[in-house]
């Protein structure tokens, strides 16, 4: 096993990997930009080194600077986390050339699966079910011709894409040329690669992914599925495991295809094969993410496995300590991605100082965080602050547990998307498992009449606190003001009282 590992990332994932290192007796090395000097991952590491200005291209994306720190510290391996250089085959090759182990798949697998067009071509050759579309980059004339043959609506996608960038939904032939040009331009800016391709758009599918894990001895297993259908602009918001729509037969069929896809790509370490599932429960290959996923904790909680531990063991040359038949799922897990953004203001980023931080806890609650009270959230990076994950015996109790945990969670000084999760979890369609990739867009489009915004809560809480104070004054008839007993006020009064008490604590 490695004695020292460099984590080429920041935020909650860097802290997550450092915790695994500490549990395994491995020293951890952090790298940080100037704006991250006081970040949590810096104080969590055994060693920490500055690698440049705030701009990611001059710090977290600088292969030369990261490898220089690895050489200086004697780090034997590098964990890339997710984002930044995690899916960059040039980085994986540079690590190998420098004699440092890259904790992830080989560069060849990253190149094959990292290009969406090459991946589609390889998966088609391997017999994996595919969404109708192209297996190569197209010109606008070719896209017009293909769209006419497979029918509208269609989706234009960046070949090197991810995170919803370089994607455009096209409903009619007239929209296609402009959408094609916009997608190309966005792809070029985001990935330095303007290649785009075209797929048939499946209306209201579910987005379901399969976690795979392979060692360097030819063994590959799947670790169940994750439901990732609650999305905004193709970015996942809530993930859960298992999916409400996947039974054991479908799980085994999707798992077998995911393993087949990984083996055909020569894949090792942790990765995810993503599928779209239509209303008839037919599934189609979407893409493969050649790294650890943001939502890996829900798989950990439902399988009882530590994916980061397993990543390190596989990278050190060990065999997987189990076979496919040894893996079983237990209970239900849900994850909410906590962002510094304002849902009431078109999800505008909300950097600034965290003046108050109240964390949820209790049975079945896990928080993977990269922040602390008093820290200033920078504007320079992805605004994700933390992930809140719960585990319970079944989906209904997991939803109830998440709602309770969200009631305990408060981040002061900045706006967050915490109110959005409360709204999602209270929606009857989510409770019933009636979700697809269009669910959140429909919810956000609903009229908010009678629904208070986050900015109104302190005023409402203050008013309700005053009302409850008045009600608490003894009356001559021995009852609370208003002529009703506390018990007669029921759950509604309890909710208002809890809000008033919570906001009173938060505003001290």
Instruction: Point out the residues that are catalytic.
Output: 291
Beta bridge partner(s), residue 207: 276
Q: Are 241 and 260 in contact (CB under 8 A)?
A: no
3-state helix, strand, coil in the chain (%, to 5): 40, 25, 35
Task: Give the residue from 144, 289, 298, 132 showing the smallest Cα distance to 202.
Answer: 132
* Those residues with Cβ within 8 angstroms of residue 43's Cβ, 6 or more apart along the chain or in another chain: none
Prior bond of 153 cis (ω within 30°): yes
430 vs 274: CA distance, rounded Å: 21
127 vs 319: CA distance, rounded Å: 28
Task: Give the residue from 231, 223, 241 showing the smallest Cα distance to 206.
Answer: 231
Locate 468 and state its tokens. Answer: 């409850």
Q: Give the 3-state secondary structure of residue 60.
A: coil
| Half-sphere exposure at residue 174, Cβ-oriented, CA atoms within 13 angstroms | 0
Q: Among the residues of 234-306, which ranges form H helices?
A: 248-264, 296-303
Q: Give the 3-state secondary structure of residue 82.
A: coil
Task: Give the residue from 410, 414, 412, 411 showing the smallest Cα distance to 351.
Answer: 414
Beta bridge partner(s), residue 276: 207, 284
Residue with tokens 């990739």: 437
Q: What is the DSSP pairing of strand 283-289 with strand 376-377?
A: unpaired
159 vs 143: CA distance, rounded Å: 14
179 vs 183: CA distance, rounded Å: 6
| Half-sphere exposure at residue 505, Cβ-oriented, CA atoms within 13 angstroms | 12
Counting Cβ atoms within 10 Å, is residue 43 exposed (0-12), middle (13-18) or buried (19+)? Answer: exposed
Query: In sequence order, what DSSP letters do the residues of 387-450 get, joined into one string?
Result: EEEEEESSHHHHHHHHHHHHHH-EEESS--SHHHHHHHHH-HHHHTT---TTHHHHHHHS--TT
Locate 442 and state its tokens. Answer: 């429909």
């Amino acid at each position: 096993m490695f004695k020292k590992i460099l984590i080429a990332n920041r935020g909650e994932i860097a802290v997550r990997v450092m915790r695994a290192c500490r549990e395994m007796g491995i020293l951890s090395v952090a790298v940080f930009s100037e704006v991250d000097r006081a970040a949590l991952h810096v104080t969590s590491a055994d060693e920490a080194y500055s690698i440049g200005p705030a701009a990611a291209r001059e710090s977290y994306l600088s292969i030369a600077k990261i490898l220089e720190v690895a050489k200086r510290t004697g780090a034997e391996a590098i964990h890339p986390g997710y984002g930044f250089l995690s899916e960059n085959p040039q980085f994986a090759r540079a690590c190998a050339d420098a004699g440092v182990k890259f904790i992830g798949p080989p560069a060849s697998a990253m190149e094959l699966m990292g290009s969406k067009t090459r991946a589609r071509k390889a998966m088609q050759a391997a017999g994996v079910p595919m969404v109708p579309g192209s297996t190569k980059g197209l010109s606008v004339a070719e896209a017009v011709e293909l769209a006419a043959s497979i029918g509208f609506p269609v989706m234009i996608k960046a070949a090197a894409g991810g995170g919803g960038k370089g994607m455009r939904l096209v409903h009619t032939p007239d929209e296609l040329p402009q959408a094609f040009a916009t997608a190309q331009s966005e792809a070029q800016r985001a990935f330095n690669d303007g290649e785009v391709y075209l797929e048939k758009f499946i209306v209201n599918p579910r987005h379901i992914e399969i976690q795979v894990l392979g060692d360097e001895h030819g063994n590959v297993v799947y670790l169940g599925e994750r439901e990732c259908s609650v999305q905004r602009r193709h970015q996942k918001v809530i993930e859960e495991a298992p999916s409400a729509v996947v039974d054991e037969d479908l799980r085994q069929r999707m798992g077998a295809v995911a393993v087949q896809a990984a083996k055909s790509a020569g894949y090792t370490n942790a990765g995810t094969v993503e599928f779209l599932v239509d209303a008839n429960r037919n599934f189609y290959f979407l893409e493969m993410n050649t790294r650890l996923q943001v939502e890996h904790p829900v798989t950990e909680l439902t399988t009882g496995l530590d994916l980061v531990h397993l990543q390190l063991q596989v990278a050190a040359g060990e065999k997987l300590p189990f076979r496919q038949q040894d893996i079983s799922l237990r209970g239900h897990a849900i994850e909410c991605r906590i962002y510094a953004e304002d849902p009431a203001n078109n999800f505008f980023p909300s950097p600034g100082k965290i003046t108050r931080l109240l964390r949820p806890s209790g049975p079945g609650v896990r928080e993977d965080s990269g922040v602390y009270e008093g820290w200033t959230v920078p504007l320079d990076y992805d605004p994700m602050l933390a992930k809140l994950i719960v585990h319970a015996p079944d989906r209904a109790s997991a939803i109830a547990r998440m709602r309770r945990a969200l009631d305990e969670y408060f981040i002061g000084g900045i706006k967050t998307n915490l109110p959005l999760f409360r709204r999602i979890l209270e929606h009857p369609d989510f409770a019933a498992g009636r979700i697809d990739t269009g669910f959140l867009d429909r919810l956000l489009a609903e009229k908010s009449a009678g629904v208070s915004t986050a900015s109104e809560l302190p005023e409402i809480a203050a008013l309700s606190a005053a009302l409850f104070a008045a009600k608490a004054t003894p009356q001559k008839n021995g009852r609370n003001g208003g002529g009703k007993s506390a018990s007669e006020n029921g759950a509604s009064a309890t909710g208002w009282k809890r809000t008033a008490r919570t906001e009173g604590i938060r505003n001290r």
